[in-house]
Structure 1
Amino acid sequence: MQPEAVLKQFFGYDSFRDNQKPLVMRILAGQDVLGVMPTGAGKSVCYQIPALMRPGLALVISPLISLMRDQVRTLCQAGIPAACLTSAQPVEERTRILRETAQGKYKLLYVAPERLQTPSLQALCQRVRLSLIAVDEAHCVSQWGQDFRPSYLRITEFLQILPERPPVCAFTATATERVRGDIIRLLGLQDPFLLVSGFDRPNLRFFVHHPADKKSALIAELAGRREQSGIVYCLTRKLVDDVYGILHSRGFAAARYHAGLDAETRQTAQEDFLYDRKRIMVATNAFGMGIDKPNVSYVIHYNMPQDLESYYQEAGRAGRDGEMADCILYASESDVRLCRFLIENSRDLSDDLDEEARQTALQRDLDRLRKMRWYCQTTDCLRQTMLHYFGESSPSYCGGCGNCGTHWAWKDATVDAQKIVSCVFRLNQRGRTVGKRFLIEILQGQTTERVQQSGLENLSTFGIMRGESVYHIRYILDCLIAQGYLTCRAEERPIVQLSAKSGDIIKKRLPFSVKSPKGVRVVPVHLGDAVGPVDESLLKVLEQTCDRLAKRAGVPSFSIFPTTVLREMCKRMPRTVDELGDIPGVAAHKAKRYGQAFVDSISAYRRRQQGDRP
């Protein structure tokens, strides 16, 4: 049986996506692979197809219980025998699954990396033939990755106890070149086939906002999205609770999720969101990894994340169904301070690390924070900025992000630049260096306690920008640093200092300009026929059919068919189950199980339409 035939039978597609088949063929040939593919690009299929075709059991190592459960549920809906072993299961259930696995009942078994050290699983894997080992979220093995999990480092020990080493395939959505090297080395991949596909997700629109009042901005944003599913990420548990409380009091159908809640509450919240009983999930980054909910229409970051890897992975949970989706980030200077506090007080930096390694890890994380902050400040194309960070080139104009959708005008800021650089110069004459916040206090003429204690009230530039907002001063200051007219060295705090180019501002008095938003224009983004117009009335009927069948089966609606498949049904309006089975995404198992219900719904809709005609 050819891979395409297996793909059609179980997943309903006639052909692989561009980057899937090379990985599938290499795994089938027994070669180790590393696939770096964006969220929604179909990484799981790359090892699931070989798992179905190679003899034996595929062991899938995955970091979260929720991720494993979702994967197993999706596979079982497709008619693929799969199971998972988790710490949340009763001992009797784990014993039964181990027994059934040994009897050959399952083709895929999902486990957490910690379970590889248990004698029961080790004994099983020494008895049964392993077709492959798949490592999901493989960036967790690297201390340079954003989700480092020490337990991933034990995978190589597990491989050594196996009587025969199967092909090992590692997959992740976000990995810089350094992290990719770590994955290959730390997992012991042997002559691996490396495939790094494009990180671009054309259906995602990126926006960065700097609202004066985040709560009001969030409520206004969500007011127009009551029928859409979305995620609101917050940096801390307290912020999650606060934002959830505000939304709940305003009548929004919201759930919340963070590690401070008990397991039952978290599970209920997750299921409410997956089953569309609650449209909004307010959560920390503890929620989302592996959550395969395709109809997430937006992801809002209430706070700036600590790094671009985390942001891209979390924002990428929107639009997995191929529909247009928005990724909105609310950024503020208080976010930067909070991120820095979280980084400097992270337990991961102190556990099992000597002082030199701890300092290296700290500087690594602070450097990633600086790059995340620059993303929030840039006036360049946000898509290009993101892709450039991951080592990809792209056009400087995408037409779909917030910056490309804004009219920018160059505004003369020479006088303000002279005032800021002159203040740094006067401080330098006194042998003083200060951080950004302190510098702004001096420029504004604030008589704060530290200003009074420092004796800087008599500085000639004290209060020289009195009346200007903190945001305005910081924006000009950041532009001066970005263009090299000042430097900012991060030690205990970001220290602002003169540079070799500072004289161009205060001595040569060269002009200095900054980009200023002039207005916002709506730019259409075309994704082709896949998301083209359909009969919305028929789409609503099919969504109701989906909901009815899902409720009967006890699964989320998207587990029956995602929106993209329902849209294609609207276009083709199949008259038979065989015709419905020709639609991409309709697997043979699902066509047989659910197809007639959709054909009947379409036929009934046709009759109603014809009956309405004069």
Structure 2
Amino acid sequence: MADARGAIQAVLSRFPHISVLKPEQEDALINFIQGKDVVALLPTGFGKSLIFQLAPLVAKELATRNGTELNPIVVVVSPLLALMEDQIMEAGKLGVSAAQLGVHEEQDILDGRFSLVFGSPESWLLNSKWRRMLSSAAYRDNILGVVVDEVHLTYKWGEVSTGETAFRESFAKLGELRSITKEGTPVLALTASADIKSRDRVTSLLHMDNAVHILASPNKTNIRLGLKNVPRYELDCLDWVVQLVKGKGSTMQPIIIYCQTMPKVGRVFAYLKAELQQHAWVDCDSDCKSENLLIGMFHSKTLPQHKDRVLASLRGEGNCRVVVATTALGMGLNFPNVSHVIMYGVPGDLESVIQQVGRAGRNGQSAHGIIYNMGQNYKAEKEVKELLNLGKTTCVRKVLFSHFEAEPCGVEPMHQCCTFCQTVCSCSSGTCTEPTPDYEQTQGKPVNLRSRHVTAEDKSLIVDMLNGYRDSLISPSAHLFTSPEACTGFSQKLVDSVLNNCQYIFDLPYILANIPVFRIEHAREVLQIISDVFGDVDTDQLEDEQSDAGERHTLPDLYYTGYYDEADDTDDPLSSHVTSSESEY
């Protein structure tokens, strides 16, 4: 043990920016290089990746001290391409050679010339070439161990209820690596969010019968937890973000807004862009250059160059300050300066809540994790519904983290803990003078008092015109395999919403904020129909919106291929950048 700690210190002395490891990191590293299975449950932003990035260097240092030569290889199972790319880049900064299956020079990988070899579960288990490689002399003689990163996905993505198909079945079969690698090869399982009841499932799937368990509390006390109910389809709960961007521009700390589906990502992005108008660009850039855009989107279908812009900005090397994203953004990636994480809609399980909240405040400064609950959470697990209900009358933090540790603690002063605790905080002579955060206040957006009288005949005409527009979107010769609503995105819910709001519809921003439209063309047609029926819409405004304000209000298509100013130069820009793990995100 002393030799191992000495080797670690010798390795760390080469890196001025890493003076010491946290005790949990050091314990996990020592046990792993000594050939023991390790399950390390460490919070987001804790430095889990550093454990296996240092492992080859420490093992080689130990071998040198013992007068032997060693070319240690660590096999890393990783769920996402973006995560692999980020970790390979970080390993390179430490002088550790790293490669990704199917990307880097194949022969060098086969010959064992890289210290870290990354691949997806599917690559390691389903590709016969890589399976044979793990049994080759180069790997049997030099393999130090196997790392399963984001190990909670073994059961989250690899297992499903009877009669259903797993999202990525190979995750649940990673225990097969035991039979492919040499006997006694240790496994290091890493995650930030396996709850108490699921930890035995991890060790069972990976056959880790005698694993060393290392646990650090995921309860990051610098993050205040917000929980607020908001009306469905209404987006003005995000107006405080708009005001922050207008006031601070590129000087503000990054904000991530997570949505559960791609259409919601597009709708939130379009709302922010419509509300910000020219303020969506640094210094109101009149050329509207993409590199100066302060808001962005990220999910599996985002074009690579736009993903790169978002990721670079979150690392402090670009201008994007508000990112609207699915869960494709963030898993295992390190963004140190995120001030707010907003969950616009409730995640389906508590592990996702922990993952997303933990992406805020990694620099140790005060930060916020906010859940906007819009109801209808029928797909959410019962523990999530319990959090939403109990969070109204007790500490949100304690309810959330009770599923991850035996005795979760609150935060003092209580207004820094959570929404509920602020209501009972008495930090200042029996009361609390701390103002409620902007994201929990009733929005101060001026009410649009303009309205019109609408008759039954008006509504009947509106319905006929909306249905006529929807019919015009489908070719008469088309053979539909589903409903016209599904094919066009112009739903009956949209029609009903227009009827319920038609007395207030006078401009596009109102439509984008209050009507469930998924394409900007639909929003414009709704405004045109309202203008035709009532004749009181500013036609100059309508012409402006059609001609030169499209950039301000553009609601991107499903694949988000045209909302920046660069052209797409590839025939299939997604093929080399999207794995099966990302296809649903």
* Coarse TM-score class (shorter-chain normalised): 0.5 to 0.7
The verdict on how the C-alpha distance between 1:407 and 1:178 changes in structure 2, with shifts beyond 3 A counting, is closer
The verdict on how the C-alpha distance between 1:175 and 1:228 changes in structure 2, with shifts beyond 3 A counting, is same
The reply on whether 1:21 has 2:26 as its aligned counterpart is yes
Corresponding residue to 1:217 among 232, 237, 251? 237
The reply on whether 1:324 has 2:344 as its aligned counterpart is no
The reply on whether 1:292 has 2:334 as its aligned counterpart is yes
Higher helix share: 1
The verdict on how the C-alpha distance between 1:395 and 1:318 changes in structure 2, with shifts beyond 3 A counting, is closer
Q: In structure 1, what is the Cα distance between the partners aligned to 2:222 and 2:384?
A: 26
Instruction: Identify the residue that residue 84 of structure 2 maps to in structure 1.
Output: 68
The reply on whether 1:125 has 2:134 as its aligned counterpart is yes
Shift in Å, 1:22: 1.6
Instruction: Flag structure 2 segments of 5+ consecutive residues without an equivalent.
Output: 1-5, 60-69, 160-165, 281-293, 427-585
Answer yes or no: is the 8 Å Cα contact 1:382–1:403 preserved in 2. yes
- SS for the counterpart of 2:45 is coil
Instruction: Identify the residue that residue 254 of structure 1 maps to in structure 2.
Output: 295
Shift in Å, 1:408: 7.2
> Aligned residue pairs: how many?
373
The verdict on how the C-alpha distance between 1:382 and 1:265 changes in structure 2, with shifts beyond 3 A counting, is same
- SS for the counterpart of 2:235 is helix
Q: In structure 2, what is the Cα distance between the partners aligned to 1:37 and 1:408?
A: 30
Instruction: Identify the residue that residue 237 of structure 1 maps to in structure 2.
Output: 262
Answer yes or no: is the 8 Å Cα contact 2:158–2:169 preserved in 1. no
Q: In structure 2, what is the Cα distance between the partners aligned to 1:47 and 1:384?
A: 32
- Aligned partner of 2:404: which letter? F
Shift in Å, 1:262: 5.2
The reply on whether 1:204 has 2:228 as its aligned counterpart is no
Corresponding residue to 1:405 among 422, 436, 440? 422
Instruction: Identify the residue that residue 382 of structure 1 maps to in structure 2.
Output: 396
Shift in Å, 1:169: 0.7
Instruction: Identify the residue that residue 111 of structure 1 maps to in structure 2.
Output: 119
The verdict on how the C-alpha distance between 1:175 and 1:387 changes in structure 2, with shifts beyond 3 A counting, is same
- Aligned partner of 2:383: which letter? R
- Aligned partner of 1:115: which letter? S
The verdict on how the C-alpha distance between 1:222 and 1:36 changes in structure 2, with shifts beyond 3 A counting, is farther
Instruction: Identify the residue that residue 186 of structure 1 maps to in structure 2.
Output: 205
Instruction: Identify the residue that residue 147 of structure 2 maps to in structure 1.
Output: 134
Q: What are the Cα deviations for residues 133-185 of structure 1, in whole angstroms up to 9, with x where unaligned?
A: 11000011114999974211232223212244421110110112221101100
Instruction: Identify the residue that residue 173 of structure 1 maps to in structure 2.
Output: 192
Q: In structure 1, what is the Cα distance between the partners aligned to 2:34 and 2:45?
A: 25
Q: In structure 2, what is the Cα distance between the partners aligned to 1:11 and 1:392?
A: 37
The reply on whether 1:34 has 2:47 as its aligned counterpart is no
The reply on whether 1:4 has 2:19 as its aligned counterpart is no
Sequence identity, in percent?
27
More off after superposition, 248-257 vs 2-11: 2-11
Shift in Å, 1:231: 0.5
Q: What are the Cα deviations for residues 257-290 of structure 1, in whole angstroms up to 9, with x where unaligned?
A: 2345455654554445443331111012222212
The verdict on how the C-alpha distance between 1:114 and 1:263 changes in structure 2, with shifts beyond 3 A counting, is farther
Shift in Å, 1:103: 4.3
Corresponding residue to 2:253 among 215, 223, 228? 228
Shift in Å, 1:246: 1.5
- Aligned partner of 2:340: which letter? Y
Shift in Å, 1:99: 1.9
The verdict on how the C-alpha distance between 1:41 and 1:72 changes in structure 2, with shifts beyond 3 A counting, is same
Answer yes or no: is the 8 Å Cα contact 2:158–2:172 preserved in 1. no
Q: In structure 1, what is the Cα distance between the partners aligned to 2:13 and 2:421?
A: 39
Answer yes or no: is the 8 Å Cα contact 2:151–2:190 preserved in 1. yes
Corresponding residue to 1:58 among 74, 85, 108? 74
- SS for the counterpart of 1:321 is coil
Q: In structure 1, what is the Cα distance between the partners aligned to 2:32 and 2:211?
A: 10
- Aligned partner of 1:387: which letter? F
Answer yes or no: is the 8 Å Cα contact 1:7–1:14 preserved in 2. yes
- SS for the counterpart of 1:174 is coil
1:147-162 counterparts in 2 under 5 A?
149-162=168-181
Q: In structure 1, what is the Cα distance between the partners aligned to 2:318 and 2:335?
A: 10
Instruction: Flag structure 1 segments of 5+ consecutive residues without an equivalent.
Output: 344-364, 410-614
Shift in Å, 1:384: 1.8
Q: In structure 1, what is the Cα distance between the partners aligned to 2:30 and 2:264?
A: 46
Q: In structure 2, what is the Cα distance between the partners aligned to 1:408 and 1:332?
A: 26
The verdict on how the C-alpha distance between 1:309 and 1:57 changes in structure 2, with shifts beyond 3 A counting, is same
The verdict on how the C-alpha distance between 1:224 and 1:263 changes in structure 2, with shifts beyond 3 A counting, is closer
Q: What are the Cα deviations for residues 205-259 of structure 1, in whole angstroms up to 9, with x where unaligned?
A: 1111234585222122342254111200112211110110121231331111234
The verdict on how the C-alpha distance between 1:396 and 1:407 changes in structure 2, with shifts beyond 3 A counting, is same
CA RMSD in angstroms, aligned pairs only: 2.6
Q: When the two structures are superposed, what TM-score results if normalisation uses the length of structure 2?
A: 0.59
1:526-605 counterparts in 2 under 5 A?
none
Answer yes or no: is the 8 Å Cα contact 1:307–1:372 preserved in 2. no
Q: In structure 1, what is the Cα distance between the partners aligned to 2:361 and 2:410?
A: 23
Shift in Å, 1:31: 0.4
Answer yes or no: is the 8 Å Cα contact 1:229–1:276 preserved in 2. no
Q: In structure 2, what is the Cα distance between the partners aligned to 1:14 and 1:57?
A: 25
Answer yes or no: is the 8 Å Cα contact 1:198–1:392 preserved in 2. no
The verdict on how the C-alpha distance between 1:269 and 1:247 changes in structure 2, with shifts beyond 3 A counting, is same
Q: In structure 2, what is the Cα distance between the partners aligned to 1:257 and 1:304?
A: 18
- SS for the counterpart of 2:420 is coil
Shift in Å, 1:102: 4.1
Q: In structure 1, what is the Cα distance between the partners aligned to 2:305 and 2:337?
A: 24
Q: When the two structures are superposed, what TM-score results if normalisation uses the length of structure 1?
A: 0.57
Shift in Å, 1:312: 1.2
